[in-house]
Structure 1
Amino acid sequence: MRLHRNLCFTVIDSLNAIFNDEEYAGKVVEKALKRDKRWGARDRKFVAETIYDIVRWKRLYNEIAGTKDHFTRDNLWKLFAVWAVLKGIELPDWKYFEGTPVRRIKGKFDEAQSTRAIKESIPDWMDEVGVKELGEAVWSRELTALNLKAEVILRVNTLKIDIATLQKFLRKEEIETEKVRDNPTALRLTERKNVFLTDAFKRGYFEVQDASSQLVAPFLQVQPGMRVVDTCAGAGGKTLHLASIMQNKGQIIAMDIYAGKLAQLKKRAKRAGVHNVDMRVIENTKVIKKLKDSADAVLIDAPCSGIGVLKRNPDSKWKLQPEFLDTIRATQAEILSSYSRMVKKGGKLVYATCSILPSENQDQVTSFLKSHPEFKFVEDRKILPSKSGFDGFYMALLEREN
């Protein structure tokens, strides 16, 4: 592979925005890909994947380069050099790479394999939490899986098209997909491409949604005609999935504390042909109280650490702080207690997170059931990245008896 200056400069500028200006990697990559309209698919792929690679392996590369967590422009070039050497890419004769110790970089990489937190490129505190909650063996397996690149998974919008027809439609747009086992609405891209530019996307034939995330809405066991509440709807990925399962019949109340996210949901719902969703901003507790004992089914896709989706959001492990875990666990317990009041007698509740930590998952459910005897445990599902190949998720189905 031959390195091109304009592409490399874009990577360095992007890393500066992520590491020094604390911008989100996803937004930075999105902006970077618009930098030069002349770039082809290969150029865009290089920029996006290199940025994500260096963000993902930030600690490991930092240890090898000896840059001591100081991300000056010179040091960002050193991290880039480490990335290139470990990828087997020949460094060009540029001033930024003068004196790059190729042999030493490879030796340092070998040395780093003996320390898990450095080898897997995570903060020490996160490694300690993972070992404490999951044990050495499981945590090590999950870290390795979480450092793999996330695949692009589509969810077929069954309100408009079936899975086989969508595959044919996408093939005409030169996008090849394959079905995902045990997931009737999921398609995996065989080669990463920008699906948002396709006619199929504009027609609302699919949404981009990880295969694990696609299992949450069906877990709630909704039926057409029900009254369903999606309490932490965000931009509405699971809301739209619920609508398709319900065949646009009944009512879905999509709630969130952020009006901006619900505005995004409104646009997505229009494209998807969804018209049974009522959006409500949670401005105070009155919004919850008005719905007490009224829902056939309630989904709580709770805010969490996001440790199960590190492969998709690698920069989050550098933004996440240990004290946040205590705060979010308290928030989860509060949300579960408050929002469960909307479930009517005989109704169902699903509590879900994109975390693999028991303290955010089954421990929360156990604690909730002890203080809310009106609910009974039905079943739960733990999805580990090492076993599924997809994001880490947890979901528990509860039923209100009285």
Structure 2
Amino acid sequence: MTPAARVQAAIEILDQVQAGTVAERALTNWARKSRFAGSKDRAAIRDHVFDALRQRNSAGFLGGGSDGRALMLGVLRAKGETLEEVFSGAAYAPAALQAGEAIAPEGETPLDLPDWLIDPLQESLGAAFERTAEGMRHRAPIVLRVNLAKTSVTQAQHALEAEGILSAPMAMVETALEVMEGARRIKQSTAFLEGLVELQDGASQAMVAALPLRDGMKVLDYCAGGGGKSLAMAGRVPRATYFAHDADANRMQDIAPRSKRAGAKICLLNAPVEAAPFDLVLCDAPCSGSGTWRRTPDAKWRFTEEALRDLVAVQAEILDAAQALVKKGGALCYATCSFLRAENTDQIAAFMQRHPEFTLEWQRSYGFDDGGDGFFGAVLRRA
């Protein structure tokens, strides 16, 4: 495909997303219908789509509209590209530029955030708001977690390098490697297939590293999903006993193959009360995902005030249920990939009012300045 044809494909996909289709689904549907497109074509089109969604407000302003064509005009204009070469009207290229489209608009570029979220994010982030808002307009780093139960960081780096994947250690946590080159080779690499490394953001790894884990503990990942936190805990402290639970058991279907690859043993539970009490219960709660919107930018535009209120209520219910599974003297750990105070420190403060038998040992927010996604973690101790 020519560069212009890739832009036209991105325009068509963006129109579907603007009509309500989730970006990943729209990209998958297009790829299935477009067997002629090679892997490099699909990757380039995906980058166009995600760049446009990350920058939807500013791209729309620069492109003079909100449809896929205007968004791609805005993205390419912001990059300083020659628009006439792309919007040429040639075969498979976007239609030629119209008179109004050739003129760049004047005025202040808007923030790439939903209007209703600006105040809550400013209140939550303080001095880091502007840097974070700018960071959301760009791609997130690709980060690997080294499985210390199988290898060392240096050995993992060498194994990756042998397959053309270059990486660099991250200061925020010892197990994290940022991928600098060869990211698309990761899932076919021997290092990945043999469980030496796993894809996991650095902030998530840093939170797990701060948990009070030790040999012999009985640990429950209460909102396990695909098991990323369970595997990270087992990689750090393999001589503990790990259990995983999720309200939707289907979300845990990847845990068995992932744990086999990693050399970890994780027992899946439908009713965790039957195995209670636990020394440590981790609640990686469902949340807005605002800390990961660089990776799922269309979610930013779908999120609503009502959804936030519903999530805060669900998070409180999860904490209230999970605390009953913690033994006396045990730890309850809470985590979100969110920047919003309502989901983080406010949630912890409200929980402690409801459950005064718990004391707060620590809580911390991670941001883009730390090198990873936005993340929040807290540890509470039962008396």
SS of aligned partner of 2:3: coil
Deviation, structure 1 residue 37: 7.0
**Counterparts in 2 of 1:142-161, with a 5 A limit?**
142-161=132-151
Residue from 67, 73, 76 that aligns with 1:81: 73
Structure 2 residue 318 is the aligned partner of structure 1 residue 335 = yes
User: Normalized against structure 1, the TM-score is what?
Assistant: 0.86
Compared CA separation, residues 390 and 30, structure 1 to 2 (3 A): farther
Task: Describe the SS at the equivalent of 1:232.
Answer: coil
Taking a change above 3 Å as real, the CA distance of residues 33 and 155 of structure 1, as seen in their structure-2 partners, is: farther
Whether the 8 Å contact between 1:225 and 1:246 is mirrored in structure 2 is: no
Q: What residue number does 1:395 align with?
A: 377
SS in 2 for 1:212: helix
For residues 38 and 29 of structure 1, the distance between their equivalents in structure 2, rounded to whole angstroms, comes to 12
Sequence identity percentage: 30
Aligned equivalents of 1:158, 1:315: Cα separation in 2: 35
Which residue number corresponds to residue 278 of structure 1? 267
Alignment of 1:375 with 2:358, yes or no, is: yes
2:258 is equivalent to residue 268 of structure 1? yes
Are the equivalent residues in 2 in contact too, given 1:11–1:51 (CA < 8 A)? Answer: yes
Give deviations 1:178-235, integer Å, cap 9, x for gaps.
Answer: 1111411110111352111222212222111110011222222212221100001110
CA distance in 2, matches of 1:185, 1:302: 23
Q: How many residues align?
A: 373
- 8 Å Cα contact 1:220/1:299 also seen in 2: no
Gaps of 5+ in 1: 282-286
Partner of 1:96 in structure 2?
95
Q: Return 198-207 or 9-18, whichever deviates more.
A: 9-18
Query: Contact conserved, 1:145 with 1:389, CA < 8 A, in 2?
Result: no
The 3-state SS of whatever aligns with 2:183 is coil
Distance in 2, matches of 1:192 and 1:128, equals: 39
Alpha-carbon distance between aligned partners in 2 of 1:121 and 1:12, rounded to the nearest angstrom: 19
Query: Does 1:241 find its partner at 2:232?
Result: yes
Decide which moves more: 43-52 or 316-325. Answer: 43-52
Deviation at 1:36, TM superposition (A): 4.8
Question: Partners in 2 of 1:266 and 1:28 — Cα distance?
Answer: 29
**Which AA in structure 2 matches 1:143?**
A
Q: 1:61-117 CA deviation, whole Å, 9 max, x = no partner?
A: 2233333x4x3xxxx223222222222222332161332646632x33xx133xxxx
Query: 1:155-304 to 2 correspondence within 5 Å?
Result: 155-191=145-181, 193-194=183-184, 195-247=186-238, 249-275=239-265, 277-281=266-270, 287-292=271-276, 294-304=277-287
**Is 1:364 aligned with 2:335?**
no
Partner residue, 1:39: 38
2-structure distance, mates of 1:381, 1:82 = 37
Indicate whether 1:124 and 2:115 are aligned.
yes
- Is the 8 Å Cα contact of residues 216 and 238 (structure 1) preserved in structure 2? no
Residues 178 and 190 in structure 1, CA contact (< 8 A), matched pair in contact too? yes
Give SS of 2:332's match.
strand
Root-mean-square deviation (CA, aligned residues, Å) is 2.2
The 5-angstrom pairing of residues 46-85 of structure 1 reads: 46-67=44-65, 69=66, 71=67, 76-85=68-77
Separation in structure 2 between the aligned mates of residue 330 and residue 349 of structure 1, nearest angstrom: 18
Counterpart contact for 2:334–2:379, Cα < 8 Å: yes
Q: Is the 8 A contact 1:220 1:348 kept in 2?
A: no
The Cα shift of 1:320 comes to: 0.6
TM superposition shift of 1:31: 6.0
Partner of 1:284: none
